Structure 1
Amino acid sequence: MHAVRLHTFGPAENLTYESVPRPTPAPGQVRIAVAAAGVHLLDTSLRRGVQGPPAPLPALPTVPGREVAGTVDALGPGTDPAWLGRTVVVHLGFAPGGYAEYAVADADRLHPVPTGLDPATAVAMIGTGRTTLGILQFADLGPGSVALVPAAAGGIGTLLVQYAKHTGATVIALAGGPAKTARATANGADLALDYTRPDWADTVRAHHPDGATVLFDSVGGATARTALDLLADGALHLVFGWSAGPIPLTEADRTALQARSVTTLNVLGPAMLRRAGGNDPLRLLETRALAEAAAGRLRPALQRYPLGEAATAHRDLENRATTGKVVLEP
Protein backbone atom coordinates (compact mmCIF):
# COMPACT_ATOMS: atom_id res chain seq x y z
CA MET A 1 0.00 0.00 0.00
CA HIS A 2 0.97 3.67 -0.18
CA ALA A 3 1.33 5.91 2.84
CA VAL A 4 2.77 9.30 3.72
CA ARG A 5 5.72 8.97 6.10
CA LEU A 6 7.76 11.39 8.15
CA HIS A 7 11.36 10.34 8.84
CA THR A 8 12.71 13.65 10.18
CA PHE A 9 10.92 16.55 11.87
CA GLY A 10 10.91 19.68 9.76
CA PRO A 11 9.21 21.36 6.79
CA ALA A 12 6.32 19.97 4.77
CA GLU A 13 8.76 18.60 2.19
CA ASN A 14 9.79 15.98 4.77
CA LEU A 15 6.47 14.20 4.18
CA THR A 16 7.18 11.48 1.62
CA TYR A 17 4.78 9.26 -0.32
CA GLU A 18 6.06 5.68 -0.04
CA SER A 19 5.16 2.02 -0.47
CA VAL A 20 4.86 0.27 2.91
CA PRO A 21 3.38 -3.01 4.16
CA ARG A 22 -0.30 -3.06 5.04
CA PRO A 23 -0.88 -2.92 8.80
CA THR A 24 -2.29 -5.96 10.59
CA PRO A 25 -5.11 -5.41 13.10
CA ALA A 26 -4.39 -6.55 16.66
CA PRO A 27 -6.98 -8.15 18.94
CA GLY A 28 -10.02 -5.90 19.25
CA GLN A 29 -9.00 -3.88 16.21
CA VAL A 30 -10.11 -3.53 12.59
CA ARG A 31 -8.28 -2.55 9.44
CA ILE A 32 -9.89 0.18 7.35
CA ALA A 33 -9.48 0.70 3.61
CA VAL A 34 -9.20 4.47 3.89
CA ALA A 35 -11.40 6.65 1.68
CA ALA A 36 -10.64 9.93 3.50
CA ALA A 37 -8.09 11.07 6.07
CA GLY A 38 -8.32 14.31 8.00
CA VAL A 39 -5.49 16.85 8.25
CA HIS A 40 -5.40 18.96 11.40
CA LEU A 41 -3.34 22.07 12.16
CA LEU A 42 -1.88 20.09 15.06
CA ASP A 43 -0.44 17.68 12.48
CA THR A 44 1.71 20.49 11.10
CA SER A 45 3.11 21.27 14.55
CA LEU A 46 3.94 17.63 15.20
CA ARG A 47 5.58 17.39 11.76
CA ARG A 48 7.85 20.32 12.70
CA GLY A 49 8.73 18.61 15.96
CA VAL A 50 6.99 21.19 18.14
CA GLN A 51 6.14 19.58 21.45
CA GLY A 52 2.99 20.76 23.14
CA PRO A 53 -0.44 19.76 24.34
CA PRO A 54 -2.49 17.84 23.71
CA ALA A 55 -0.53 15.32 21.59
CA PRO A 56 2.98 14.02 22.31
CA LEU A 57 5.59 13.92 19.55
CA PRO A 58 5.47 10.62 17.65
CA ALA A 59 8.35 8.20 17.38
CA LEU A 60 9.98 8.39 13.94
CA PRO A 61 9.46 7.27 11.28
CA THR A 62 5.73 7.77 11.50
CA VAL A 63 2.63 7.90 9.32
CA PRO A 64 0.78 11.05 10.49
CA GLY A 65 -2.97 11.48 10.67
CA ARG A 66 -5.54 10.76 13.39
CA GLU A 67 -8.92 10.83 11.59
CA VAL A 68 -10.01 8.32 8.96
CA ALA A 69 -13.12 7.01 7.25
CA GLY A 70 -13.52 4.03 4.95
CA THR A 71 -14.55 0.40 4.77
CA VAL A 72 -13.55 -2.27 7.28
CA ASP A 73 -11.67 -4.92 5.28
CA ALA A 74 -10.04 -7.04 8.00
CA LEU A 75 -10.59 -7.92 11.67
CA GLY A 76 -8.20 -8.62 14.49
CA PRO A 77 -8.69 -11.64 16.75
CA GLY A 78 -11.81 -11.37 18.90
CA THR A 79 -13.27 -8.41 17.02
CA ASP A 80 -17.02 -8.45 16.38
CA PRO A 81 -17.49 -9.83 12.83
CA ALA A 82 -20.44 -7.47 12.29
CA TRP A 83 -17.93 -4.68 11.54
CA LEU A 84 -16.55 -6.42 8.43
CA GLY A 85 -17.55 -4.58 5.25
CA ARG A 86 -19.12 -1.62 7.07
CA THR A 87 -18.33 2.00 6.24
CA VAL A 88 -16.95 3.60 9.39
CA VAL A 89 -15.29 6.71 10.71
CA VAL A 90 -12.93 6.95 13.66
CA HIS A 91 -10.71 9.38 15.51
CA LEU A 92 -7.47 7.54 16.29
CA GLY A 93 -6.65 9.69 19.31
CA PHE A 94 -2.92 10.04 19.81
CA ALA A 95 -2.17 6.99 17.61
CA PRO A 96 -0.96 8.10 14.16
CA GLY A 97 -1.44 6.19 10.91
CA GLY A 98 -4.19 8.01 9.02
CA TYR A 99 -2.30 9.28 5.96
CA ALA A 100 -2.40 5.89 4.29
CA GLU A 101 -4.44 3.61 2.06
CA TYR A 102 -5.05 1.33 5.05
CA ALA A 103 -5.17 2.09 8.77
CA VAL A 104 -5.95 0.14 11.94
CA ALA A 105 -8.23 1.30 14.72
CA ASP A 106 -9.75 -0.01 17.93
CA ALA A 107 -13.22 -1.36 17.22
CA ASP A 108 -14.69 0.31 20.30
CA ARG A 109 -13.88 3.75 18.84
CA LEU A 110 -15.65 3.17 15.51
CA HIS A 111 -18.79 4.95 14.38
CA PRO A 112 -20.87 3.73 11.44
CA VAL A 113 -21.02 6.49 8.83
CA PRO A 114 -24.64 7.70 8.75
CA THR A 115 -26.57 7.14 5.55
CA GLY A 116 -26.09 10.02 3.13
CA LEU A 117 -22.71 11.20 4.46
CA ASP A 118 -19.65 10.74 2.30
CA PRO A 119 -16.39 9.68 4.00
CA ALA A 120 -14.80 13.14 3.76
CA THR A 121 -17.77 14.74 5.51
CA ALA A 122 -17.69 12.06 8.20
CA VAL A 123 -13.98 12.69 8.77
CA ALA A 124 -14.61 16.42 9.16
CA MET A 125 -17.32 15.79 11.75
CA ILE A 126 -15.40 13.21 13.80
CA GLY A 127 -12.67 15.76 14.54
CA THR A 128 -13.62 19.33 13.67
CA GLY A 129 -17.30 18.61 14.29
CA ARG A 130 -16.79 17.17 17.75
CA THR A 131 -14.64 20.16 18.74
CA THR A 132 -17.29 22.56 17.44
CA LEU A 133 -20.04 20.83 19.42
CA GLY A 134 -17.79 20.95 22.47
CA ILE A 135 -17.25 24.70 22.10
CA LEU A 136 -20.95 25.34 21.62
CA GLN A 137 -21.70 23.76 25.01
CA PHE A 138 -20.46 27.00 26.58
CA ALA A 139 -22.68 29.37 24.56
CA ASP A 140 -26.41 29.60 25.12
CA LEU A 141 -27.25 30.87 21.65
CA GLY A 142 -30.69 32.02 20.58
CA PRO A 143 -32.61 34.79 18.80
CA GLY A 144 -31.22 37.46 21.13
CA SER A 145 -27.58 36.45 20.66
CA VAL A 146 -25.03 38.27 18.51
CA ALA A 147 -22.12 35.96 17.71
CA LEU A 148 -18.78 37.30 16.47
CA VAL A 149 -16.84 34.58 14.62
CA PRO A 150 -13.26 35.21 13.45
CA ALA A 151 -11.80 32.65 11.00
CA ALA A 152 -15.37 32.12 9.86
CA ALA A 153 -14.38 30.31 6.66
CA GLY A 154 -12.25 27.75 8.49
CA GLY A 155 -13.31 24.27 9.52
CA ILE A 156 -14.67 25.18 12.96
CA GLY A 157 -15.74 28.68 11.92
CA THR A 158 -17.93 27.34 9.12
CA LEU A 159 -19.79 25.08 11.52
CA LEU A 160 -20.12 27.77 14.18
CA VAL A 161 -21.76 30.13 11.68
CA GLN A 162 -24.21 27.43 10.56
CA TYR A 163 -25.11 26.34 14.07
CA ALA A 164 -25.57 29.88 15.36
CA LYS A 165 -27.90 30.72 12.48
CA HIS A 166 -29.87 27.54 13.18
CA THR A 167 -30.55 28.82 16.71
CA GLY A 168 -31.79 32.18 15.41
CA ALA A 169 -28.72 34.15 16.51
CA THR A 170 -27.29 37.06 14.54
CA VAL A 171 -23.85 36.18 13.14
CA ILE A 172 -20.97 38.55 12.37
CA ALA A 173 -18.32 36.61 10.43
CA LEU A 174 -14.70 37.69 9.98
CA ALA A 175 -12.54 36.15 7.28
CA GLY A 176 -9.51 37.07 5.18
CA GLY A 177 -10.36 38.27 1.70
CA PRO A 178 -13.46 38.46 -0.50
CA ALA A 179 -13.57 34.75 -1.41
CA LYS A 180 -13.70 33.71 2.24
CA THR A 181 -16.21 36.37 3.26
CA ALA A 182 -18.42 35.19 0.39
CA ARG A 183 -18.28 31.67 1.81
CA ALA A 184 -19.29 32.97 5.23
CA THR A 185 -22.25 34.78 3.68
CA ALA A 186 -23.26 31.59 1.85
CA ASN A 187 -23.21 29.78 5.21
CA GLY A 188 -25.74 32.24 6.61
CA ALA A 189 -23.70 35.03 8.21
CA ASP A 190 -25.71 38.23 8.59
CA LEU A 191 -22.59 40.34 8.21
CA ALA A 192 -19.34 39.01 6.68
CA LEU A 193 -16.29 41.28 6.87
CA ASP A 194 -12.70 41.11 5.68
CA TYR A 195 -10.63 41.49 8.84
CA THR A 196 -7.59 42.57 6.77
CA ARG A 197 -9.40 45.84 6.00
CA PRO A 198 -8.74 48.61 8.54
CA ASP A 199 -12.41 49.63 8.81
CA TRP A 200 -13.96 46.26 9.72
CA ALA A 201 -14.47 47.15 13.39
CA ASP A 202 -16.19 50.44 12.47
CA THR A 203 -18.59 48.48 10.27
CA VAL A 204 -19.46 46.16 13.16
CA ARG A 205 -20.13 49.13 15.45
CA ALA A 206 -22.35 50.76 12.83
CA HIS A 207 -24.50 47.64 12.44
CA HIS A 208 -24.45 46.49 16.08
CA PRO A 209 -23.86 49.47 18.39
CA ASP A 210 -24.93 47.46 21.45
CA GLY A 211 -22.12 44.97 20.87
CA ALA A 212 -21.78 41.24 20.36
CA THR A 213 -22.80 38.83 23.12
CA VAL A 214 -20.25 36.11 22.38
CA LEU A 215 -16.84 36.00 20.69
CA PHE A 216 -15.74 32.61 19.35
CA ASP A 217 -11.98 33.17 19.38
CA SER A 218 -9.61 30.77 17.63
CA VAL A 219 -7.29 33.53 16.41
CA GLY A 220 -6.01 35.69 19.27
CA GLY A 221 -3.55 38.42 18.31
CA ALA A 222 -4.57 41.86 17.16
CA THR A 223 -7.85 40.69 15.62
CA ALA A 224 -9.08 39.31 18.94
CA ARG A 225 -7.87 42.43 20.75
CA THR A 226 -10.03 44.60 18.48
CA ALA A 227 -12.95 42.17 18.74
CA LEU A 228 -12.96 42.42 22.54
CA ASP A 229 -13.79 46.11 22.24
CA LEU A 230 -16.86 45.15 20.19
CA LEU A 231 -18.41 43.03 22.94
CA ALA A 232 -21.44 44.04 24.97
CA ASP A 233 -21.29 44.25 28.74
CA GLY A 234 -21.64 40.75 30.19
CA ALA A 235 -20.47 39.09 26.97
CA LEU A 236 -18.65 35.75 26.66
CA HIS A 237 -15.18 35.41 25.15
CA LEU A 238 -14.67 31.73 24.31
CA VAL A 239 -11.05 30.87 23.53
CA PHE A 240 -10.13 27.70 21.60
CA GLY A 241 -7.02 28.74 19.65
CA TRP A 242 -4.44 31.44 19.11
CA SER A 243 -3.25 31.08 15.52
CA ALA A 244 -2.16 34.75 15.47
CA GLY A 245 -0.50 34.56 18.89
CA PRO A 246 -1.43 35.92 22.33
CA ILE A 247 -3.81 38.85 22.66
CA PRO A 248 -1.81 42.02 23.43
CA LEU A 249 -3.67 43.07 26.58
CA THR A 250 -2.37 45.56 29.13
CA GLU A 251 -3.32 45.43 32.79
CA ALA A 252 -5.61 48.40 32.13
CA ASP A 253 -7.30 46.40 29.35
CA ARG A 254 -7.93 43.51 31.72
CA THR A 255 -9.34 45.84 34.36
CA ALA A 256 -11.68 47.41 31.79
CA LEU A 257 -12.92 44.00 30.61
CA GLN A 258 -13.57 42.99 34.20
CA ALA A 259 -15.53 46.20 34.80
CA ARG A 260 -17.67 45.36 31.78
CA SER A 261 -18.25 41.83 33.14
CA VAL A 262 -16.74 40.21 30.02
CA THR A 263 -15.99 36.58 30.88
CA THR A 264 -13.10 34.80 29.14
CA LEU A 265 -13.20 30.99 29.12
CA ASN A 266 -10.61 28.61 27.69
CA VAL A 267 -12.90 25.86 26.49
CA LEU A 268 -10.57 23.16 25.15
CA GLY A 269 -9.27 20.14 27.03
CA PRO A 270 -10.62 19.22 30.47
CA ALA A 271 -13.19 22.05 30.55
CA MET A 272 -14.83 20.74 27.38
CA LEU A 273 -14.83 17.14 28.60
CA ARG A 274 -16.32 18.08 31.96
CA ARG A 275 -19.08 20.03 30.26
CA ALA A 276 -19.90 17.13 27.91
CA GLY A 277 -20.16 14.71 30.85
CA GLY A 278 -20.71 10.98 30.68
CA ASN A 279 -18.23 8.13 30.87
CA ASP A 280 -16.84 8.84 27.40
CA PRO A 281 -17.34 12.55 26.63
CA LEU A 282 -15.31 12.53 23.42
CA ARG A 283 -17.41 9.74 21.94
CA LEU A 284 -20.56 11.56 23.02
CA LEU A 285 -19.44 14.70 21.16
CA GLU A 286 -18.50 12.62 18.09
CA THR A 287 -21.95 11.02 18.04
CA ARG A 288 -23.65 14.41 18.33
CA ALA A 289 -21.52 15.87 15.54
CA LEU A 290 -22.29 13.04 13.13
CA ALA A 291 -26.00 13.33 13.94
CA GLU A 292 -25.97 17.09 13.22
CA ALA A 293 -24.41 16.44 9.81
CA ALA A 294 -26.77 13.58 9.04
CA ALA A 295 -29.73 15.84 9.84
CA GLY A 296 -28.36 18.52 7.50
CA ARG A 297 -27.96 21.17 10.19
CA LEU A 298 -24.17 21.23 9.84
CA ARG A 299 -22.40 21.03 6.48
CA PRO A 300 -18.63 21.10 6.80
CA ALA A 301 -16.59 22.92 4.20
CA LEU A 302 -14.03 20.56 2.65
CA GLN A 303 -10.79 21.06 0.79
CA ARG A 304 -9.66 17.79 -0.77
CA TYR A 305 -6.15 16.72 -1.78
CA PRO A 306 -4.84 13.43 -3.18
CA LEU A 307 -3.02 11.41 -0.54
CA GLY A 308 0.26 11.84 -2.39
CA GLU A 309 -0.03 15.63 -2.05
CA ALA A 310 0.03 15.69 1.75
CA ALA A 311 3.02 18.03 1.74
CA THR A 312 1.09 20.54 -0.37
CA ALA A 313 -1.90 20.23 1.96
CA HIS A 314 0.35 20.99 4.96
CA ARG A 315 1.90 24.03 3.27
CA ASP A 316 -1.48 25.41 2.25
CA LEU A 317 -2.89 24.89 5.75
CA GLU A 318 0.06 26.65 7.37
CA ASN A 319 -0.18 29.54 4.89
CA ARG A 320 -3.93 29.98 5.49
CA ALA A 321 -4.61 29.11 1.86
CA THR A 322 -7.29 26.53 2.69
CA THR A 323 -11.00 26.83 3.34
CA GLY A 324 -12.68 24.44 5.72
CA LYS A 325 -11.48 20.99 6.68
CA VAL A 326 -8.47 19.64 4.79
CA VAL A 327 -8.96 16.01 3.72
CA LEU A 328 -6.61 13.58 1.97
CA GLU A 329 -8.13 11.00 -0.37
CA PRO A 330 -6.17 7.93 -1.53
Structure 2
Amino acid sequence: MLQVEAGDLAIAYLELGPTGGTAPPVILLHGFPYDVHAYGGVAARLAAAGRRCLVPYLRGYGATRFLSLDTPRSGQQAALGIDLLAFMDALAIPRAVLGGYDWGGRAACIVAALHPERVTGLVSGGTGYNIQNIPQGSEPEAPEAEHRFWYQYYFHSERGRRGLSENRRELCRYIWRLWSPSWTFDAATFDATARAFDNPDFVEIVIHSYRHRFGGVAGDPRLDAIEARLAAQPPIAVPTIALHGADDGVDPPSPEDTDATHFTGPYQQRIVPGAGHNLPQEAPDAFADALLAVG
Protein backbone atom coordinates (compact mmCIF):
# COMPACT_ATOMS: atom_id res chain seq x y z
CA MET A 1 0.00 0.00 0.00
CA LEU A 2 1.29 3.42 -1.01
CA GLN A 3 0.15 6.86 0.14
CA VAL A 4 0.41 10.36 -1.32
CA GLU A 5 -0.72 13.76 -0.05
CA ALA A 6 -3.22 15.13 -2.55
CA GLY A 7 -5.45 18.11 -1.86
CA ASP A 8 -7.29 17.60 1.43
CA LEU A 9 -6.22 13.96 1.74
CA ALA A 10 -3.45 11.50 2.26
CA ILE A 11 -4.70 9.03 -0.34
CA ALA A 12 -3.83 5.36 0.08
CA TYR A 13 -3.54 3.46 -3.18
CA LEU A 14 -2.28 0.34 -4.89
CA GLU A 15 0.01 0.43 -7.90
CA LEU A 16 0.59 -2.40 -10.36
CA GLY A 17 2.39 -2.67 -13.67
CA PRO A 18 5.39 -0.90 -15.17
CA THR A 19 6.00 2.79 -14.59
CA GLY A 20 7.61 3.37 -17.98
CA GLY A 21 6.23 3.11 -21.47
CA THR A 22 4.28 5.46 -23.67
CA ALA A 23 0.74 4.28 -22.87
CA PRO A 24 -1.13 6.46 -20.36
CA PRO A 25 -1.64 5.02 -16.88
CA VAL A 26 -5.01 3.67 -15.84
CA ILE A 27 -6.74 4.92 -12.68
CA LEU A 28 -9.42 2.62 -11.26
CA LEU A 29 -12.03 3.99 -8.86
CA HIS A 30 -14.31 1.96 -6.61
CA GLY A 31 -17.80 2.76 -5.41
CA PHE A 32 -20.02 2.40 -2.33
CA PRO A 33 -19.87 0.04 -0.51
CA TYR A 34 -16.73 -1.45 -2.07
CA ASP A 35 -12.99 -0.80 -2.09
CA VAL A 36 -9.78 -1.41 -4.05
CA HIS A 37 -10.28 -5.20 -3.96
CA ALA A 38 -12.94 -4.75 -6.64
CA TYR A 39 -10.15 -4.19 -9.17
CA GLY A 40 -7.82 -7.08 -8.31
CA GLY A 41 -8.53 -9.02 -11.49
CA VAL A 42 -8.76 -5.96 -13.74
CA ALA A 43 -5.48 -4.46 -12.54
CA ALA A 44 -3.64 -7.78 -12.80
CA ARG A 45 -4.71 -8.20 -16.41
CA LEU A 46 -3.82 -4.63 -17.34
CA ALA A 47 -0.45 -4.88 -15.62
CA ALA A 48 0.27 -8.08 -17.56
CA ALA A 49 -0.51 -6.11 -20.72
CA GLY A 50 2.13 -3.56 -19.76
CA ARG A 51 -0.13 -0.87 -18.31
CA ARG A 52 0.53 1.05 -15.14
CA CYS A 53 -2.53 0.83 -12.85
CA LEU A 54 -3.33 2.96 -9.82
CA VAL A 55 -6.20 2.03 -7.52
CA PRO A 56 -6.93 4.61 -4.78
CA TYR A 57 -9.18 4.34 -1.76
CA LEU A 58 -11.81 7.06 -1.98
CA ARG A 59 -12.26 9.54 0.86
CA GLY A 60 -13.75 7.75 3.86
CA TYR A 61 -12.42 4.31 2.87
CA GLY A 62 -9.47 2.20 3.91
CA ALA A 63 -6.27 4.00 4.84
CA THR A 64 -7.13 7.27 3.08
CA ARG A 65 -7.20 10.07 5.66
CA PHE A 66 -7.94 13.79 5.83
CA LEU A 67 -4.93 15.99 6.48
CA SER A 68 -6.90 18.34 8.74
CA LEU A 69 -9.58 17.82 11.35
CA ASP A 70 -11.19 21.05 10.14
CA THR A 71 -11.91 19.89 6.58
CA PRO A 72 -15.63 19.22 5.99
CA ARG A 73 -16.28 15.49 5.65
CA SER A 74 -18.16 15.99 2.43
CA GLY A 75 -19.31 13.11 0.26
CA GLN A 76 -20.71 15.34 -2.48
CA GLN A 77 -19.88 14.63 -6.10
CA ALA A 78 -17.62 17.67 -6.55
CA ALA A 79 -15.43 16.47 -3.68
CA LEU A 80 -14.89 13.12 -5.40
CA GLY A 81 -13.95 14.89 -8.60
CA ILE A 82 -11.38 17.21 -7.01
CA ASP A 83 -9.90 14.28 -5.08
CA LEU A 84 -9.23 12.47 -8.35
CA LEU A 85 -7.72 15.54 -9.97
CA ALA A 86 -5.52 16.18 -6.92
CA PHE A 87 -4.39 12.54 -6.98
CA MET A 88 -3.31 12.88 -10.61
CA ASP A 89 -1.50 16.14 -9.85
CA ALA A 90 0.28 14.70 -6.80
CA LEU A 91 1.62 11.80 -8.88
CA ALA A 92 2.47 14.08 -11.82
CA ILE A 93 0.10 12.23 -14.16
CA PRO A 94 -0.82 14.61 -16.99
CA ARG A 95 -3.33 12.27 -18.67
CA ALA A 96 -4.86 8.92 -17.79
CA VAL A 97 -7.49 6.40 -18.73
CA LEU A 98 -10.19 6.48 -16.06
CA GLY A 99 -12.33 3.54 -15.02
CA GLY A 100 -14.96 3.64 -12.31
CA TYR A 101 -18.42 2.63 -11.19
CA ASP A 102 -20.86 3.98 -8.62
CA TRP A 103 -19.06 6.76 -6.66
CA GLY A 104 -15.84 6.07 -8.55
CA GLY A 105 -17.63 6.33 -11.88
CA ARG A 106 -18.99 9.69 -10.79
CA ALA A 107 -15.50 11.00 -10.00
CA ALA A 108 -14.26 9.75 -13.37
CA CYS A 109 -17.17 11.30 -15.29
CA ILE A 110 -16.67 14.65 -13.55
CA VAL A 111 -12.99 14.88 -14.43
CA ALA A 112 -13.70 13.69 -17.99
CA ALA A 113 -16.40 16.35 -18.41
CA LEU A 114 -14.63 19.30 -16.78
CA HIS A 115 -11.01 18.45 -17.60
CA PRO A 116 -11.04 16.44 -20.85
CA GLU A 117 -7.42 17.37 -21.52
CA ARG A 118 -6.47 15.09 -18.59
CA VAL A 119 -8.38 12.03 -19.80
CA THR A 120 -7.56 9.81 -22.77
CA GLY A 121 -10.49 7.45 -22.29
CA LEU A 122 -13.30 6.61 -19.87
CA VAL A 123 -15.05 3.43 -18.76
CA SER A 124 -18.13 4.21 -16.67
CA GLY A 125 -19.82 1.27 -15.00
CA GLY A 126 -23.42 1.03 -13.84
CA THR A 127 -24.50 4.49 -14.98
CA GLY A 128 -22.92 5.75 -18.17
CA TYR A 129 -23.37 9.45 -17.48
CA ASN A 130 -22.80 9.50 -13.75
CA ILE A 131 -22.99 13.22 -12.96
CA GLN A 132 -25.82 14.00 -10.58
CA ASN A 133 -28.46 16.54 -11.53
CA ILE A 134 -28.85 17.83 -7.98
CA PRO A 135 -31.26 20.69 -8.81
CA GLN A 136 -33.70 18.00 -9.95
CA GLY A 137 -32.91 15.72 -7.02
CA SER A 138 -36.31 16.22 -5.41
CA GLU A 139 -38.19 15.08 -8.52
CA PRO A 140 -39.79 11.64 -8.06
CA GLU A 141 -38.58 8.64 -10.00
CA ALA A 142 -40.66 5.73 -11.27
CA PRO A 143 -41.96 3.64 -8.35
CA GLU A 144 -39.68 0.69 -9.09
CA ALA A 145 -36.65 3.01 -9.03
CA GLU A 146 -37.77 4.57 -5.76
CA HIS A 147 -37.99 1.07 -4.31
CA ARG A 148 -34.40 0.29 -5.34
CA PHE A 149 -33.17 3.52 -3.70
CA TRP A 150 -34.51 2.60 -0.23
CA TYR A 151 -31.03 2.81 1.31
CA GLN A 152 -30.63 6.44 0.23
CA TYR A 153 -33.83 7.49 1.99
CA TYR A 154 -32.86 5.38 5.01
CA PHE A 155 -29.64 7.39 5.30
CA HIS A 156 -31.65 10.63 5.41
CA SER A 157 -32.81 9.75 8.92
CA GLU A 158 -30.96 9.54 12.21
CA ARG A 159 -32.10 5.93 12.38
CA GLY A 160 -30.27 5.31 9.09
CA ARG A 161 -27.12 6.98 10.33
CA ARG A 162 -27.13 4.79 13.41
CA GLY A 163 -27.92 1.72 11.32
CA LEU A 164 -24.89 2.37 9.11
CA SER A 165 -22.68 3.13 12.10
CA GLU A 166 -23.71 0.20 14.27
CA ASN A 167 -24.39 -2.42 11.58
CA ARG A 168 -22.13 -1.29 8.76
CA ARG A 169 -20.87 -4.75 7.81
CA GLU A 170 -24.27 -6.41 7.94
CA LEU A 171 -25.88 -3.57 6.00
CA CYS A 172 -23.19 -3.46 3.33
CA ARG A 173 -23.21 -7.24 2.93
CA TYR A 174 -26.98 -7.10 2.41
CA ILE A 175 -26.51 -4.38 -0.23
CA TRP A 176 -23.95 -6.56 -2.02
CA ARG A 177 -26.50 -9.37 -2.24
CA LEU A 178 -29.29 -7.11 -3.47
CA TRP A 179 -27.20 -5.34 -6.07
CA SER A 180 -25.42 -8.42 -7.42
CA PRO A 181 -28.00 -11.22 -7.16
CA SER A 182 -26.13 -13.55 -9.54
CA TRP A 183 -22.71 -13.10 -7.89
CA THR A 184 -21.80 -15.81 -5.38
CA PHE A 185 -19.17 -14.18 -3.17
CA ASP A 186 -17.78 -15.87 -0.06
CA ALA A 187 -17.16 -14.49 3.42
CA ALA A 188 -13.45 -13.98 2.79
CA THR A 189 -14.15 -11.83 -0.28
CA PHE A 190 -16.53 -9.60 1.62
CA ASP A 191 -14.34 -9.39 4.71
CA ALA A 192 -11.34 -8.29 2.66
CA THR A 193 -13.32 -5.24 1.54
CA ALA A 194 -15.31 -4.63 4.73
CA ARG A 195 -12.19 -3.61 6.62
CA ALA A 196 -12.22 -0.45 4.48
CA PHE A 197 -15.49 0.58 6.15
CA ASP A 198 -13.69 0.95 9.50
CA ASN A 199 -12.27 4.28 8.31
CA PRO A 200 -13.18 6.91 10.95
CA ASP A 201 -14.83 9.14 8.33
CA PHE A 202 -16.78 6.41 6.50
CA VAL A 203 -20.17 6.97 8.11
CA GLU A 204 -20.07 10.76 7.99
CA ILE A 205 -19.05 10.85 4.32
CA VAL A 206 -21.62 8.26 3.24
CA ILE A 207 -24.43 10.02 5.08
CA HIS A 208 -23.42 13.40 3.66
CA SER A 209 -23.25 11.98 0.14
CA TYR A 210 -26.78 10.63 0.16
CA ARG A 211 -28.27 13.67 1.87
CA HIS A 212 -26.50 16.23 -0.30
CA ARG A 213 -27.58 14.72 -3.62
CA PHE A 214 -31.22 15.36 -2.66
CA GLY A 215 -30.56 18.88 -1.39
CA GLY A 216 -31.02 17.80 2.24
CA VAL A 217 -27.74 19.28 3.50
CA ALA A 218 -25.34 21.96 2.36
CA GLY A 219 -22.12 21.10 0.60
CA ASP A 220 -18.60 22.30 1.18
CA PRO A 221 -18.79 26.01 0.18
CA ARG A 222 -15.37 25.73 -1.48
CA LEU A 223 -17.02 23.46 -4.06
CA ASP A 224 -20.01 25.65 -4.93
CA ALA A 225 -18.54 26.79 -8.25
CA ILE A 226 -17.85 23.21 -9.33
CA GLU A 227 -21.34 22.10 -8.35
CA ALA A 228 -22.78 24.94 -10.42
CA ARG A 229 -20.89 23.65 -13.47
CA LEU A 230 -22.08 20.11 -12.81
CA ALA A 231 -25.69 21.29 -12.48
CA ALA A 232 -25.49 22.26 -16.15
CA GLN A 233 -24.89 18.58 -16.96
CA PRO A 234 -21.76 19.17 -19.05
CA PRO A 235 -21.16 16.77 -21.94
CA ILE A 236 -18.32 14.25 -22.03
CA ALA A 237 -16.20 14.37 -25.16
CA VAL A 238 -13.53 11.75 -24.43
CA PRO A 239 -13.81 8.20 -25.85
CA THR A 240 -16.17 6.34 -23.53
CA ILE A 241 -17.55 2.86 -22.99
CA ALA A 242 -20.52 2.59 -20.63
CA LEU A 243 -20.70 -0.85 -19.02
CA HIS A 244 -23.91 -2.17 -17.49
CA GLY A 245 -24.39 -5.39 -15.58
CA ALA A 246 -27.44 -7.15 -16.96
CA ASP A 247 -28.29 -8.34 -13.43
CA ASP A 248 -27.65 -5.02 -11.66
CA GLY A 249 -30.10 -4.89 -8.75
CA VAL A 250 -29.92 -1.14 -8.10
CA ASP A 251 -29.30 0.40 -11.52
CA PRO A 252 -30.45 -2.10 -14.16
CA PRO A 253 -29.91 -1.23 -17.82
CA SER A 254 -32.92 0.28 -19.52
CA PRO A 255 -34.12 -0.75 -22.98
CA GLU A 256 -33.29 2.73 -24.26
CA ASP A 257 -29.82 4.24 -23.79
CA THR A 258 -30.86 7.58 -22.31
CA ASP A 259 -27.25 8.50 -21.45
CA ALA A 260 -26.01 8.59 -25.04
CA THR A 261 -26.99 12.23 -25.59
CA HIS A 262 -24.51 13.33 -22.89
CA PHE A 263 -21.52 12.05 -24.91
CA THR A 264 -20.17 14.05 -27.81
CA GLY A 265 -17.11 11.90 -28.54
CA PRO A 266 -16.80 8.20 -29.45
CA TYR A 267 -19.28 6.35 -27.28
CA GLN A 268 -20.46 2.78 -26.88
CA GLN A 269 -22.75 0.99 -24.46
CA ARG A 270 -22.00 -2.61 -23.49
CA ILE A 271 -24.24 -4.81 -21.37
CA VAL A 272 -22.42 -7.57 -19.50
CA PRO A 273 -24.51 -10.74 -19.03
CA GLY A 274 -24.41 -12.47 -15.67
CA ALA A 275 -22.98 -9.44 -13.85
CA GLY A 276 -24.51 -7.12 -11.29
CA HIS A 277 -23.50 -3.77 -9.85
CA ASN A 278 -19.93 -4.60 -8.79
CA LEU A 279 -18.83 -4.94 -12.41
CA PRO A 280 -15.02 -5.01 -12.16
CA GLN A 281 -15.03 -7.71 -9.49
CA GLU A 282 -17.78 -9.77 -11.09
CA ALA A 283 -16.63 -9.40 -14.71
CA PRO A 284 -12.94 -8.35 -14.67
CA ASP A 285 -12.25 -9.43 -18.24
CA ALA A 286 -15.10 -7.33 -19.62
CA PHE A 287 -13.96 -4.32 -17.60
CA ALA A 288 -10.31 -4.73 -18.64
CA ASP A 289 -11.30 -5.17 -22.29
CA ALA A 290 -13.23 -1.91 -22.19
CA LEU A 291 -10.32 -0.02 -20.64
CA LEU A 292 -7.91 -1.29 -23.28
CA ALA A 293 -10.39 -0.35 -26.00
CA VAL A 294 -10.74 3.30 -24.92
CA GLY A 295 -7.08 4.01 -24.29
Do both share a fold (TM > 0.5)? no
The higher relative CO (CA closer than 8 Å, separation ≥ 6) is in: 2
Normalised by the size of structure 1, how large is the TM-score? 0.28
Per residue, is there more strand in 1 or in 2? 1
> Rg larger in 1 or in 2?
1
Normalised by the size of structure 2, how large is the TM-score? 0.30
Per residue, is there more helix in 1 or in 2? 2
